[in-house]
Structures are given as structure tokens and as C-alpha cells.
Structure 1
Amino acid sequence: MSLTDTFIRNVKPASSPRKYFDGEGLFLYVPPNGSKLWRMSYRFEGKSKLLSFGKYPAVSLRDARSCRDKAKSLLAKGVDPAELKKKQEQERLEESKYNFELVAREWHKVRMSAFSQKHQTTVLYRLETYIFPLIGKKAVTRLEINDVLAVLRPLEAKQHYETARRVFQIISQVFRYAVVLGRMKSNIASDLRGILHPRKVTHRATLTDTKKVGQLLRDIDRYEGYFPLVCALKLAPMVFTRPTELRAAEWSEIDFENAEWHIPAKRMKMGEKHIVPLSRQVLEILEDLRQFSGDGKYLFPSIRSSVRPISDATMLNALRRMGYEKHEMSVHGFRSLASTLLNEHGYNRDWIERQLAHGERNEVRAAYNYAEYLPERKRMMQEWSDYLDELRNAA
């Protein structure tokens, strides 16, 4: 006789375990403690086996019968339902070991080690602030497109479009890493390309008109202020490194004998060692500066403390005091200025890109390319300084 919900609700425990059968192997197992547990007995390859479906009333009579029918369907196909359940539970256990946060932290440790400490810190901040709180504990194999959107949509709602784009890049890179390691079958983030708010392209302010460049150089020469700051401003157009790389330059990095500035990988944005050839004009400025700060660590020490370099704001404020507004010139603009004019003068684009220290996509090549085109770049950098002199001295 089949079981009913009324019977199951009213059944009482006995001093010994009892079984109440529903048919086709399904029965309710009631031990002395009063629990009501669903079981199914069956035979597979001549052996008696037992399958558990859960506890009543969390698993209703209807649910238990559905589980029995699914198990019988598997048996008809030659599949042992107990072994399949065991395998699935093991897979779920394995998946739990690879939640997004664990994979992302491993990716950060392995992949981000090639980048500067500042960039590593920024990426980790975005992971811990925007991503981990929402999807960090979820297994990477169970993440879906909607999970990714749940991270991005709040940022876009606040019009933090650039942050959303950066966060999306991080998630996609973690997914690619998981795919390579066999922890995901595919990068689901690839299906979301183009879904974010279009990026608003903004260019850092710079001057490219040669007459205005010449005037800027003359204004820098006439600027009266803290001597290391004046030297930094004079060097900026000639070496055109990133502002952070310039202002934090150390005397130990300057090779006067070979007229080279060796910036270590840890101070570079892309985490690659970089060589800046030093022109005759640059060396003259450095010789004067060495009389001022040569016994310290930094070329351009802060006016308040010799243990810190000048700040980006210090250089920017100097430009503003010279009368150059936000839309006219920025400290980073010296790079764009040099790139534009060098390209216009027909210099090899590879020389220019290498001197700008733009990212090398080939990781093996990147480890050795800091000296790439060095003889050509030395000639280019001297000719560039000579050309700036011409612009400065032009009527």
C-alpha cells in the first residue's frame, strides 16, 4: 500500500527502527529518535544497494517519488545512481576549493608580479572593494553572466564608467587564467564585450605647436623656484618619462660614464627595466643638480624632507603658476609632445615606442628589450635635445 502525507505526518517512532514502504524500492526510514528519512533500496550488478534522498518534510512525498523515478531511469541506462551522486558531491567539493577569490588571488600573485608595486596594489584594491564582496565566495565554474553584471551595474549606475571598465578587465583576466588552468571551460566574460557604457576618450593636455613649445621651454628657463623642481621641469621634455618615474629618480640609477639612466623594473609601470639615454644637455643639468642633492638618495628631494621626492602636484602647480591652464599643458603632456614631434620628424616608430617604455606584450621579449635599439635611441635623444634648443632659441 502506498504512503500518504497524512500517514507520514502522524507516524510515531518506535523503540527500534521502522521502515514504511511506498513501492518500487522507496521507503520511509524512522529511527527511534523520530527522524523521517527517505531511502531507496535497489540492486546494481547483482549487489544490494541503498540510496538516500533526504529528510521529511524538507523532502516531500512527491519529491521522494520524483527522486526514485530519476534513479530508476538511471538504472535503466546502466548507471548506478549512488555512484553518480557520490561523484557529483565530489565535484561540488572540488569546485568549492576554486571560488573566485582564491583563483583571483592566485592570478594576482602569478600574473601581477611583472607589474609595478603601485599597479599591483591598485588591482588588489579593486578586487577587494568591488568584486570579492559580490562574487568572491562563488565557485568559478558556477559563475554566470548575471553574476558579472551584478558587479558592473552598480558602478555604471553611479557613472563610474572607467572603474567599471577596469573591474571588467580584471574579471575577464581572472577567467582566462582559470580557463588555462582547467578550472573553467570558457571565459564567460567574453560574451559581455560591448555591453559597458562607451569609454569617453580623454587626452592629457599637451602642446604640439612648435612656437608654443619654444615658449614653454623659455618659460621653464625663466621660472624662479625650488632648484630641484626647476631641474625636473627642464629635464621633463628631454627625457619624456612618466612623471612618477622622473620625480622619484635616484642618483644610484644615473650612469654618468655611459650617459644612461637605468630605471629599475620596480619603478616602471609595466614592471620592465628601462634605459633612458642622456643627452649632453641633460648631463649638464644633472651635473648642476648633483651639487645640490648629490649626497642624498633622490635627484629631486622634497623641499620639506630629503627622504621623499617632490610630488606630481609640485610639478603641476609650477606649470599652473607659469600660466599654463589645465586644458593647455600637463606634466604627462611632455610625453605626448615628444611622441608627436618625433613621429612628425620621421624617426622610427619602434625607437619612439621603446623610448616611451610602452608595454611589451611578449613576456619573454620584454625581459630583454630594455636595451633594444639603444644606439639608435641615443642618437635620437641627442638630436631631440638639440631640436628643443632650436625651438627655445627661435625668435
Structure 2
Amino acid sequence: MTTVALITSGANSVANFRGLLIEELIRRGCRVLALAPDWDEGSRGRTSALGAQPVAISLSRAGLSPRRDSVDLVRLTVLLRRLRPDATLTYFAKPNVYGNIAARAARVPRRVAMVEGLGFAFDASAGSGPKRRLLSALARGLFRAAFAGTDRVVFLNRDDEGFFHEHRMVCPDKAVQIGGIGVDLDAFAATPPVTSPVTFLLMARLLRGKGILEYAAAAEIVRKSHPTARFVLLGAFDANPESLSAADILPWVERGVIEWPGHVDDVRAQLAASSVFVLPAWAREGLPRSSQEASAMGRPVITTDVVGCRDTVEHGVNGLIVRPRDVADLARAMTRLIENPAEMIRMGEAGRRFAESHYDGRAKSRTLADLLLAR
């Protein structure tokens, strides 16, 4: 029996993002191991229910600690030698680096990495001082070393692929671009949008670069002329250095500008109760899963002209593209859809068609399985 090990720094992502892939691998007769550092009862249960085996590892999600990272790398190498998988799939920054170095050292026969965005180390919006330049240079060296030992590197958009080529972090003949990980189009079925009151929804980790503060500021502007409009924010704080804090969010909630239910495991009910999905990110993305889910459920998407985000919208067809960090432009786009409900519904219907042609998660999972099981 072929054994495939998924290596990640976020246990919650296994069932949420890799569920269809796990099902596809098991359908092909594979044994699936899911290696992550932060399992809890819920994430273990969801992963086990899919048929994969959760395996605990030590791996920090963010930050740079050479001593800890070196120890984690050795431990992961030893673990992979003991588990003896036939193939590994790594995703997120640290697993892509240390997971692939460990897999190569453990002589795993097939090694595939997936780049789901460039991450904090390459985020120009986080600054460009000497420390940032040093971090970026170090990250480039680590990725170059890690990806030298991969069989394939999967990218979700052409901009990220181009960035890795430009900085010689991946060989062109190893790169594969799949245009997003997709969603389960049956599970995320289209539903009629809520038209009264018009309800905007932003789902994201609470990072500055997701445009959350810009979303709240635009909501405050829109509510002056459309006081019944609702603005919902879903998400939790993060270990990332760019994470917001409660002090950033609560003042907007206390003034009634936005509603903040926190983190929700299953977002479908929140999407069904919404009218428009908004992702005003100003830091580059891979290809946002949240926008894919929103389109699949028939919601128009307002997003920014930023790497990854702009790939999810045809302006004026299935949503609107606004300038990043431009609160006034975002408020105008929101107001346009409030005042033109027929256009909002038409864009949502186009979004579902867009999802059917671009975001079929089962087809994407078959592609990933083919890459993992290739001989």
C-alpha cells in the first residue's frame, strides 16, 4: 500500500483544505498520514473521519528560531525515516522548507511542495528595512535549498510562480500551476443571496494585510447613507507577526459598525446568510479559498487588485476589483451593490458559473494525487 504524508504547520487546514485530496488518495488505495504540530480534539476528529491518521510533530508556524528549527528538522527527519512514506506533500512556508529538507534526508521517494502564497518573509507591505531584507534573503536561500530536492512545486497563481523563477528558487521544469485548490462544489452549493438587509461578509485570519481595518472603515462610511446594511467579520487571531489584536477589532464592534462572531469551522451558514463577500487584502495572496467558496455559493466578490486576489474576479462580471488600501474605493463598490440589487444577483450567478469552470475541487485533487503518485 502506498503511503502519502501531508506535512503542514496548521492542523485545522488538513480537513478544511485537504479533505478532497485525502478522499481521492484513499479512493486510490493509499494510506494517508497527516503531520501537524497543533492537533486538538476537533481537528483530530475531523481528520480521522476522512480516513487519514493524525501524527503530531514539532514545528513552529511563524518566526525564525535557528536552534528550535534545527531541532525540529532533525526530529522530523527521524520521524519520516520511521514512517517511511512513499510520497510527501508539504504546504505553508515552514513545512515547504523544513518538510522537504527532512523528506529528502529521509530518502522519501516522491516529494511535492505546494506554495499557497509567499508568506510574511516576502511580503513587501510589511516593510523594507535591513532586517526585512535579511529575512527575505535567508528565506530565498532556504527555499532554494528545499526545492532543489523536490520532484514538483505546485503554485496557485502565475505571479507567485514568476516570483520563484525570478529569484531562482525553483527550476522551471519542476513548476506546476493549478489556479487554486478549489472547493467541493456540491458542499458549497449556490443559494439565493440575502437582499434585505444587504449583508457583507469578510472571512479571514485577522491579519493586517487582509484589509480588515480597511473593511471596517469602509463599513462606517457606507452605514452613513445605508444604516441597515450589515458588515460581518469572521476570523480569529493568528501567530503571524502581522496579526491584529482585540484592541484593533473591539472598538468597531462596540460602535456597531461590524459584527464579529469570531472563528467558525463551517462557514456555509454564514455565506448563505450574506449578500456579498469582501476580501480587501493588500498583502499578496496565493488564491484565496474564501473567495472560491463565496463564488461557489453564488456571492459576488469585492476584492483588490493584488496578486492572487485579482485572479478570483472578472471585474463587473462576478464581482468588483478595487484599489488596495483605498477605503473610499471600497466603500463605493459596496454602495454600488447595495443600490443595484439586480446587478448583485447577476454577479452572484456569474460567480457560481466561474466557480464551476475554475474551482472544481475534485478535479484539482485528482491533479494533486497524480503528481504525488507519479512514477
TM-score (structure 1 length as normaliser): 0.30
Structure whose alpha-carbon radius of gyration is higher: 1
More strand by share: 2
Higher helix content, 1 or 2: 1
Give the number of the structure with larger relative contact order, counting CA–CA contacts within 8 Å between residues 6 or more apart: 2
